[in-house]
Structure 1
């Protein structure tokens, strides 16, 4: 069935254009650096030992479970930071993780996941959403469903913007397990990039910087669209439909 495109106010279209541009540019220069360092995303996972690849999804579920609690609790002790500082902190962590090869990179994985989730929560608050609400924390995990900075994305997969489940402990676990397989691939690519011979810490820093920048951008897309739906009084499904159309136009331009 063809979806009918409803007319929306011009100011909504203007904001939607800004969101589309941010989506298109997510990650920026950092992604080009990663591609130079690590090669194509498809070949990165082949660098990891089979034992590591087989445990990635389980490790990712554990990391997300830990991050959900740790990221939220940290808000009471550490205020939100500027975007550049988040990226700089993440880069420093990546340098430490990459400096010791795969063992330290694996140990750094849950810490990085917590930082990324904390950064996403910070963006939610910036758009006026209450991070104390389980629904908002739920949305924060959904941002990870936007794949990763090395994934090919033509803007056609916008499902993460509109997925909804009944809010409960089981629902949170459901979304974690839904997101985990995709995030496991993302984090596997990150781990593999950090094992590039010789570069070590430099690669770890560049990888974390790029990933933090990417997920900050995707959080702005996600919560920007949520805020626009509320303030513009337009159904989120309609905005998502229009965003998908705009992304295709930007890709083909």
Structure 2
């Protein structure tokens, strides 16, 4: 990742408090999804046909590989949008995907993945990082390692900000292969939600809105910590530990 500097002193504790608040807000998204689904997160994937469940990881890995190229190329033609625009676009895409049930939701999935990645890249730029730089592209994909809005395991989620993979040959493909199984579970839950009887397009719109909001918040956590490490000269791993302590206090 490129060397960047930020003007002025920084209040590390205050910034960590803001990042922790963003983290808690991301976690609150999952409760809204669960309310939509009647509180049933467990067994959600079982609503999908076995053939779809079996192919989710491969489909997700393919969608991520495509999204990396498309999202980066689109930056030259389409500027980064405010967060509310991204969620609005995601909502519309989810409605279209949910309207036709599972077949249309499967078609919508790669487009949603690309939108989410573009959203994450926009957050990276907001924090002062250049999404055209290879290391930043790498970090953007790492945000998908977050557990997802229906998983409230802080330890699991915090793992994504401390995930260690080096930028060697084929690093992006290795990262995508590592992230795809977890993201496949997340996207599978979204697909299943879009097939909820009666709700249809409403479920698709709502889940896409919430998933887009979730990954925007997690991107702010990820790149907020990266930026804070530069501003404060405090090691990133130490900041992650301090954030984890804040989250443990919150849960207690």
Q: TM-score, structure 2 length as denominator?
A: 0.93
Tell me if the contact between 1:27 and 1:210 (Cα under 8 Å) persists in the aligned partners: no
Residue 241 (1) aligns with residue 245 (2): no
Shift of 1:241: 0.8
SS in 1 for 2:119: helix
Counterparts of 2:158 and 2:32 in 1: how far apart (Å)?
A: 25
Superposed CA RMSD in Å reads: 1.5
Does 163-172 or 87-96 show the bigger shift? 163-172
SS in 1 for 2:81: coil
Residue 15 (1) aligns with residue 23 (2): no
- 2:147 aligns with 147
- 2:25 aligns with 25
- 1:114 aligns with 114
Tell me if the contact between 2:124 and 2:219 (Cα under 8 Å) persists in the aligned partners: yes
Shift of 1:25: 1.3
Structure 2: gaps spanning 5 or more residues: 1-8
Q: Residue 31 and residue 159 in structure 1: after superposition, are their counterparts in 2 closer, same or farther (change >3 A)?
A: closer
The equivalences for 1:87-102 within 5 A come to 87-102=87-102
- 1:85 aligns with 85
Across the two proteins, how many residue pairs are aligned to each other?
A: 243
- 2:6 aligns with none
Counterparts of 1:33 and 1:146 in 2: how far apart (Å)?
A: 18
Shift of 1:159: 2.1
Counterparts of 2:106 and 2:23 in 1: how far apart (Å)?
A: 29
Counterparts of 2:86 and 2:122 in 1: how far apart (Å)?
A: 10
Counterparts of 1:18 and 1:157 in 2: how far apart (Å)?
A: 17
Counterparts of 2:10 and 2:156 in 1: how far apart (Å)?
A: 23
Tell me if the contact between 1:155 and 1:247 (Cα under 8 Å) persists in the aligned partners: no
Extract structure 1 runs of 4+ deviating beyond 6 A: none
Structure 1: gaps spanning 5 or more residues: 1-8
Does 195-204 or 146-155 show the bigger shift? 146-155
